[in-house]
Amino acid sequence: MIFTSTKNNKEAVGFRTAALNGLASNKGLYVPTFMPKLRTEILESGVFGPEEAAQVMQLFIGEDIPLKKLTEILDQTLAFDFPLVQIGADKYCLELFHGPTKAFKDVGARFMSRVLGYFKAQDSNKSHVLVATSGDTGAAVANGFLNIDGVEVHILFPKGKVSEYQERQMTTLGGNINAYEVEGTFDDCQSLVKQAFSDNGLKQKMSLSSANSINVARFLPQMLYYFIASNTLKNKNLNNITYSVPSGNFGNLTAGLYANALGLPVENFIASTNRNDTFINYLVSGTYEPKPSVLTYSNAMDVGAPSNFTRILDLFDNDWQAIKGKIDGIAVSDEKTLQIMDRIHAATGYIIDPHGAVGYLGLETYQKEGDTGVVLGTASPLKFSSVIQKVVPSFETPDAGSKTVFKTSIKNDYKSFLEVLLS
């Protein structure tokens, strides 16, 4: 498979180069030059494990990783459960938070860390992985890359805008994991990372890669959730699936669109966001206007300029009508989020995190009669105990523990980031 940049098609690279580079040289995102098609027997077998996952991923990876090694990597990547829990009439939550950091991003981070570890074993140069996070990405990347030989990780997170649980997951590992507390928003953190990738002087001193969903090695394995869920539902004789995806940087939703383009049947997608409604406004107007992010209870979605928007445009050939035909969108206030959390708990006893609650309202709004609705449960309620306690006062806050904290505070400017990076 050949990948090109969303900003032009002159740069053509294979999966290995795309994964190691993170961003294209012109700061565009890598996208495949064509969308392959999956063999129908994989969709009809009734089984979806590491072997089947490897066949899906090999469509994009090609010969850069042998199938046997790729299957081994995916066996380690998918080494936890992905239960579908019924939370309403024809509504299910696909719990993606049973990995080591209790968030869906464990899949992408575990896959990417092992892929880069495999590639770096063939290369003596240390790779410096840069990642901006609004909460869960940083924790998953930190855990996935801890003690991976040949890789140094640098995580940027916005000061005071992630939960205590999330921050502790990023800042108590040490070793090859470096955490930077930035005086700004997630979008500011993401901007600093992108500036680093466009700094030719820095790239002459360091081999840089990104672990955000802008990286194909982080983004593409997120397709696998949809295959796992669809296989489980098919075995329950449930079809016509609509997915509601809590969306921030839109990697998860875009991965679902890719899975659908490969041949996985999906009735519809719902982009469920909070007050950071840049994409929802695009669906209404056809005009994409990024804006500063605002802080909400569902902080992992506090993104005002979603990077993967360009991948969605590429997939649909910049056709606004086609995008609207496949994706519905909703923006949910904090007040509505709490109401949904309270209503689900009162009716079923199920505790859903604020991101899942946003997704649930998306299903209630757009799920068609006769469809099976699935909301992606992107993070454990444990990570948002202070919000959960607003509707379930008895919910316990996880013990903070007494681990040593490793973090560096920096100003929101590139010079400050560059100084700590080079030191």
Kindly report, residue by residue over 282-300, the tens digit of the pLDDT: 999 999 999 998 999 998 8
Candidates 73, 255, 170, 179; CA nearest to 409 is 179
Pairwise pLDDT comparison (187 vs 323), residue with the higher score? 323
Torsion of CA 206, 212, 217, 220, to 10 degrees: -160
**pLDDT value at position 182?**
94
* 324 is an active site residue: no
Mean pLDDT for the stretch of residues 124-149: 83
Residues 6+ apart with CB under 8 A from 266: 226, 230, 241, 242, 243, 256, 259, 260
Closest CA to 338 of 356, 324, 325: 356
* Number of neighbouring beta carbons within 10 Å of residue 421: 23
Residue 417 tokens read as 């980031």
Decide if pLDDT at 303 tops 80: yes
Are 269 and 257 in contact by the 8 Å Cβ rule? The answer is yes
157 Cβ contact partners less than 8 Å away, ≥ 6 residues apart: 132, 133, 134, 135, 138, 166, 167, 170, 179, 180, 181, 182, 186, 189
On the question of pLDDT at 213 being above 90, the answer is no
pLDDT of residue 284: 96
- Could you identify the residue written with the tokens 């470096």? 178
pLDDT band at 397 (very low <50, low <70, confident <90, very high): confident
Instruction: Please tell me the predicted confidence (pLDDT) of residue 121.
Output: 75
- When pLDDT is averaged across residues 314-326 and rounded to a whole number, the result is 96
For residue 402, pLDDT over 80 is answered with no
pLDDT above 70 covers a percentage of the chain that reads: 99
Q: Are 275 and 296 in contact (CB under 8 A)?
A: yes
pLDDT (0 to 100) of residue 212: 74
What pLDDT was estimated at residue 400?
A: 57
Burial category of 141 from C-beta neighbours within 10 Å (exposed 0-12, middle 13-18, buried 19 and up): buried
Domains present along the chain, CATH in parentheses: 81-101+219-388 (3.40.50.1100)
Pick the more confident residue, 199 or 334. Answer: 334
Residue 135 in this model has a pLDDT that exceeds 60? yes
| pLDDT for the residue numbered 401 | 61
Q: What pLDDT shows up at residue 280? A: 97
Using the predicted structure, report yes or no on whether residue 125 has a pLDDT greater than 80. Answer: no
Mean pLDDT of 368-376: 95
Give the pLDDT confidence score for residue 297 in this predicted structure.
Answer: 94
Arithmetic mean of pLDDT, 391-407: 80
Q: Taking 80 as the threshold, does the pLDDT of residue 269 lie above it?
A: yes
Q: What is the DSSP string of 72-141?
A: HHHHHHT-S---EEEEETTEEEEE---STTSBTHHHHHHHHHHHHHHHHTT--SPEEEEEE-SSHHHHHH
What is the residue whose two structure tokens read 């669109």? 257
Of the residues 102, 105, 120, 161, only one is catalytic, namely: 105
Cα distance between residue 352 and residue 311, in whole Å = 29
With cut-offs at 50, 70 and 90, classify the pLDDT of residue 97. Answer: very high
Report the chain's mean pLDDT, rounded to a whole number: 91
Model pLDDT for residues 145-203, shown as the tens digit of each residue: 888 888 889 999 999 888 888 888 889 888 999 999 999 988 899 899 989 988 889 98
Mean pLDDT of the region 106-130: 85
Residue 34: count other Cβ atoms within 10 Å of its Cβ.
8
Global confidence as pTM = 0.88
